[in-house]
């Protein structure tokens, strides 16, 4: 596995997310590039890679914005881990995979955020506002996940050279 | 009887994984609990990371700004004719407004003199650029390229030409995190310009409301202009926050609540000013 390339992609995604993504907002909702990359890593390289990538980029996000440190570690780590659970069970070229991954991961991540924040602050005023934006956010992130996943899938052979670097559907043929 | 060696290996491996995951979860929850309090100062790792990220975010922000300038320029050219006609109309309207403004300024001056009030002190402004945004749906914050080295400190108010943007939440040597006015945990004292009633402006996650806990039924009306109050030492009085778009009845129909239409366009934040409540030139004197 070419871990340094995976790390570099995460770094670029973090910078793009915090600088450019704000200008790509539609109706007040920005795409979640970090989640798209973490889900793609999980789906393509398995739970350990997905979870570690999610936890690392989550830590970066938490420290950079100074909010509850560990919250994004937990949510993105879980997203990466759960996405990785299906890695060996599905055809990785199936276009439905990133679509479902992007959609479900948003609900999982926001659900974890909601649960932990509700524990820390029972009068969570932002909950209503976030609930209104979860669905549009999920759809937007799903579209981005699809594009990111397809791009990483194209580079799969380079990122995970033989013997691991065989796309699931190709191996079964 | 002991299980066969290959099964023992699998069990040991599973146990190791469970242990790693549990330790990770425990550490994460401890970290969340420890950092969930009201933290006014950034820790060493946060300072370090912010300092390392600063040039990259600055560069990315610069590139984004230039790209936006170019696309904005092209769009502007396309609509030049239409804009020209609109600008002519605006000029006419502005001439009228300027006359009105002069009258109001004279009236304002007269009223101030009558009331014996001092003119508001001018404040020092630190110009800053937004270089990063919090991607989370839950916390609305931006990072600006001015920090402790430039004189920014926690609690200062951040404005742009449209009004109040937010409050400085955390400061590192070269950058500061600004909690936006729309954030769920934002609070600032406010005053209704129409009747002088004092209230509290609160962020709601995607909007802003102003509550008047001690106000009567007439404390707020649609169209009222809300400015900052005087209870917070770091926040100068009279800064524009927004106009009341709608009036609701709050807790048990007792507290008047106004839904605010903030003056600031939070989706297109670029240049902002940090307001330091001290006269300009104070820094030079120090």
The sign of the torsion formed by the CA atoms of A153, A105, A31, A2 equals negative
Cβ pair A128:B205 closer than 8 A = yes
User: Do B111 and B135 sit in the same domain of this protein?
Assistant: no
User: Do B223 and B252 sit in the same domain of this protein?
Assistant: yes
d(CA A58, CA B32): 12
- Most A CBs within 10 Å: which of B18, B21, B28, as the mutation test of the A interface? B28
Cβ pair B203:A72 closer than 8 A = no
B158: alpha, beta or left? (left if phi > 0; alpha if psi -120 to 50): beta
Cβ pair B32:A71 closer than 8 A = yes
Above 60 in pLDDT, residue A171? no
Give the range among A90-104, B19-33, B37-51 with minimum mean pLDDT.
B37-51
- Most B CBs within 10 Å: which of A70, A77, A82, as the mutation test of the B interface? A70
**pLDDT for res B118:** 40
**pLDDT for res B282:** 56
Q: How far is CA B277 from CA A78, A172, B123, in A?
A: 45, 69, 5
Above 70 in pLDDT, residue B284? no
Above 90 in pLDDT, residue B240? no
Above 50 in pLDDT, residue A121? yes
Residue B174, in any domain of the structure: yes
**pLDDT for res A162:** 64
Assign B252 a pLDDT band (cuts: 50, 70, 90): low
Give the residue ranges of DSSP H helices in chain B.
5-35, 44-78, 80-115, 282-285
Q: Output the average pLDDT for chain B.
A: 80
Q: How far is CA B22 from CA A3, B15, B32, B218, B256, in A?
A: 25, 10, 15, 57, 49
Q: What's the rounded mean pLDDT across residues A9-33?
A: 84
Q: How many CB atoms lie within 10 A of CB A22?
A: 20
The closest CB to that of B170, out of A16, A61, A66, belongs to A66
Above 90 in pLDDT, residue A155? no
Q: What's the rounded mean pLDDT across residues A52-64?
A: 89
The closest CB to that of A65, out of B45, B56, B141, belongs to B141
Percent of chain A with pLDDT strictly greater than 90: 36
**pLDDT for res B285:** 47
Summarised one tens digit per residue, pLDDT across range B214-238 is 777 778 888 888 988 877 778 888 8
Q: What's the rounded mean pLDDT across residues A130-134?
A: 79
Residue B126 C-beta-side C-alpha neighbours within 13 Å: 26
Q: What's the rounded mean pLDDT across residues B279-286?
A: 54
User: Do B141 and B218 sit in the same domain of this protein?
Assistant: yes
- By CB atoms closer than 10 A (0-12, 13-18, 19+), residue B95 is exposed
User: Do B164 and B208 sit in the same domain of this protein?
Assistant: yes
* Residue whose C-alpha is closest to residue B34's, from A70, A93, A56, A147: A70
**pLDDT for res A173:** 40
Q: What's the rounded mean pLDDT across residues A141-169?
A: 79
A173/B85: higher pLDDT: B85
B247: alpha, beta or left? (left if phi > 0; alpha if psi -120 to 50): beta
**pLDDT for res B286:** 46
Total number of domains in chain B: 2
Residue B13, in any domain of the structure: no
User: Do B196 and B116 sit in the same domain of this protein?
Assistant: no
d(CA A90, CA B221): 59
Q: Tell me which DSSP letter residue B103 carries.
A: H
**pLDDT for res B45:** 76
Are residues A116 and A74 in contact, defined by beta-carbon separation less than 8 angstroms? yes
Cβ pair A70:B29 closer than 8 A = yes
Percent of chain B with pLDDT strictly greater than 70: 86
Residue B17, in any domain of the structure: no
> Looking at beta carbons, which residues of chain B come within 8 Å of A84?
none
Are residues A152 and A13 in contact, defined by beta-carbon separation less than 8 angstroms? no
The closest CB to that of A18, out of B46, B68, B133, belongs to B133
Q: How many CB atoms lie within 10 A of CB B184?
A: 23
Closest chain B residue to A25, measured at CA = B267
Above 70 in pLDDT, residue A33? yes
Summarised one tens digit per residue, pLDDT across range B192-206 is 888 888 889 988 887
Strand, helix or coil at B204? coil
Interface contact B277, partner A, CB < 8 A: no
Interface contact B251, partner A, CB < 8 A: no
Give the range among A27-31, A69-73, B276-280 with minimum mean pLDDT.
B276-280
Give the range among B80-94, B120-134, B235-249 with minimum mean pLDDT.
B120-134
Interface contact B185, partner A, CB < 8 A: yes
Above 90 in pLDDT, residue A60? no
Interface contact B37, partner A, CB < 8 A: no
Residue B23, in any domain of the structure: no
Give the range among A33-47, B96-110, B166-180, B207-221 with minimum mean pLDDT.
B96-110
Report the CATH number that the domain containing residue B245 is assigned in CATH.
2.40.10.340
Residue B55 C-beta-side C-alpha neighbours within 13 Å: 2
**pLDDT for res A104:** 92
Interface contact B45, partner A, CB < 8 A: yes
Residue B4 C-beta-side C-alpha neighbours within 13 Å: 2
> Looking at beta carbons, which residues of chain B come within 8 Å of A130?
137-138, 205
Percent of chain B with pLDDT strictly greater than 90: 5
User: Do B153 and B135 sit in the same domain of this protein?
Assistant: yes
**pLDDT for res B121:** 45
**DSSP-assigned beta bridge partners for residue B164:** B159
User: Do B173 and B199 sit in the same domain of this protein?
Assistant: yes
The residue from B120, B149, B180 where one domain ends is B120
Above 70 in pLDDT, residue B113? no
Q: What's the rounded mean pLDDT across residues A55-60?
A: 90
Residue B147, in any domain of the structure: yes
Which residues, other chains included, contact A84 with Cβ-Cβ below 8 Å and sequence gap of 6+?
Answer: A41, A42, A43, A45, A46, A47, A48, A49, A50, A51
**pLDDT for res B104:** 79
Interface contact B205, partner A, CB < 8 A: yes
Are residues A69 and A147 in contact, defined by beta-carbon separation less than 8 angstroms? no
Above 50 in pLDDT, residue B73? yes
The closest CB to that of B138, out of A63, A64, A126, belongs to A126
Are residues B40 and B148 in contact, defined by beta-carbon separation less than 8 angstroms? no
Summarised one tens digit per residue, pLDDT across range B116-140 is 434 444 678 888 888 888 877 777 8
Residue B187, in any domain of the structure: yes
d(CA B229, CA B238): 7
**DSSP-assigned beta bridge partners for residue B256:** B249
CB pairs under 8 A between A and B: 133
**Residue B142 to chain A, least CA–CA distance (Å):** 8
Mean pLDDT comparison of A53-57, B52-56, B118-122, B262-266, highest-scoring range: A53-57
Cβ pair A70:B32 closer than 8 A = yes
Assign A160 a pLDDT band (cuts: 50, 70, 90): confident
B48-55: long-range contacts, CB 8 A cutoff, minimum separation 24: B49/A60, B49/A63, B49/A64, B50/A64, B50/B143, B50/B147, B50/B172, B50/B173, B50/B174, B50/B175, B51/B172, B51/B173, B51/B174, B51/B175, B53/A64, B53/B132, B53/B175, B54/B131, B54/B145, B54/B174, B54/B175
d(CA B227, CA A122): 30
d(CA B259, CA B241): 12
User: Do B91 and B160 sit in the same domain of this protein?
Assistant: no
Q: Output the average pLDDT for chain A.
A: 84
Which residues, other chains included, contact A81 with Cβ-Cβ below 8 Å and sequence gap of 6+?
Answer: A42, A47, A50, A51, A54
> Looking at beta carbons, which residues of chain B come within 8 Å of A133?
137, 206
**pLDDT for res B250:** 62
Find the helix or strand (DSSP H, E) in which B190 lies. Answer: strand B187-192
Residue B159, in any domain of the structure: yes
B24/A79: higher pLDDT: A79
* Peptide bond preceding B74 in cis form (omega within 30 of 0): no
Task: Report the Cα–Cα distance between both ends of chain B, in Å, rounded.
Answer: 81
Q: Tell me which DSSP letter residue A29 carries.
A: B
Range(s) of the domain holding residue B85: 47-120
Residues 99-158 of chain B with CB under 8 A from chain A are: 131-139, 141, 143
CA B74 to chain centre: 30
CA angle B125, B131, B137 (to 5 degrees): 110
Interface contact B209, partner A, CB < 8 A: no
Residue B7, in any domain of the structure: no
């Amino acid at each position: 596995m070419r871990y340094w390339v995976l790390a570099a992609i995460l770094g670029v995604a973090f910078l793009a997310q915090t600088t450019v993504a704000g200008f790509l907002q539609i109706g007040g909702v920005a795409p979640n590039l970090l989640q798209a990359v973490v889900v793609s890593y999980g789906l393509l390289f398995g739970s350990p890679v997905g979870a570690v990538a999610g936890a690392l980029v989550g830590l970066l996000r938490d420290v950079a914005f100074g909010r509850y440190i560990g919250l994004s570690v937990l949510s993105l780590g879980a997203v990466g881990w759960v996405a990785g659970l299906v890695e060996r069970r599905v055809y990785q070229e199936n276009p439905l995979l990133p679509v479902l991954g992007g959609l479900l991961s948003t609900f999982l991540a926001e659900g974890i955020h909601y649960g932990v924040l509700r524990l820390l602050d029972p009068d969570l005023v932002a909950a209503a506002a976030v609930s209104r934006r979860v669905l549009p956010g999920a759809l937007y992130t799903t579209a981005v996940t699809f594009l990111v996943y397809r791009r990483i899938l194209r580079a799969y052979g380079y990122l995970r050279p033989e013997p691991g670097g065989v796309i699931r559907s190709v191996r079964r043929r | 009887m002991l299980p066969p060696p290959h099964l023992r290996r699998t069990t040991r491996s599973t146990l190791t994984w469970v242990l790693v995951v549990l330790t990770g979860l425990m550490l994460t929850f401890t970290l969340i609990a420890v950092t969930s309090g009201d933290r006014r100062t950034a820790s060493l790792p946060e300072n370090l990371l912010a300092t390392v990220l600063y040039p990259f975010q600055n560069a990315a922000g610069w590139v984004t700004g230039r790209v936006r300038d170019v696309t904005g320029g092209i769009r502007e050219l396309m609509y030049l004719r239409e804009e020209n006609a609109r600008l002519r109309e605006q000029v006419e309207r502005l001439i009228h407004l300027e006359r009105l403004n002069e009258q109001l300024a004279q009236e304002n001056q007269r009223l101030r003199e009558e009331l014996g009030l001092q003119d508001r002190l001018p404040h020092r402004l630190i110009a800053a650029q937004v270089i990063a945004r919090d991607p989370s749906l839950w916390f609305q914050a931006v990072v600006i390229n001015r920090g402790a080295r430039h004189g920014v400190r926690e609690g200062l108010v951040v404005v742009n030409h449209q009004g109040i943007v937010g409050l400085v939440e955390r400061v590192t040597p070269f950058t500061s995190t600004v909690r936006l006015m729309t954030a769920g945990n934002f609070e600032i004292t406010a005053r209704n310009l129409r009747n002088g009633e004092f209230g509290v402006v609160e962020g709601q996650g995607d909007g802003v409301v102003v509550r008047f806990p001690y106000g009567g039924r007439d404390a707020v009306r649609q169209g009222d202009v809300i400015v900052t109050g005087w209870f917070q030492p770091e926040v100068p009085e009279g800064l524009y926050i927004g106009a009341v778009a709608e009036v609701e009845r709050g807790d048990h129909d007792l507290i008047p609540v106004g839904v605010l239409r903030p003056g600031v366009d939070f989706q297109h934040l670029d240049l902002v000013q940090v307001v330091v409540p001290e006269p300009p030139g104070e820094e030079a004197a120090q």
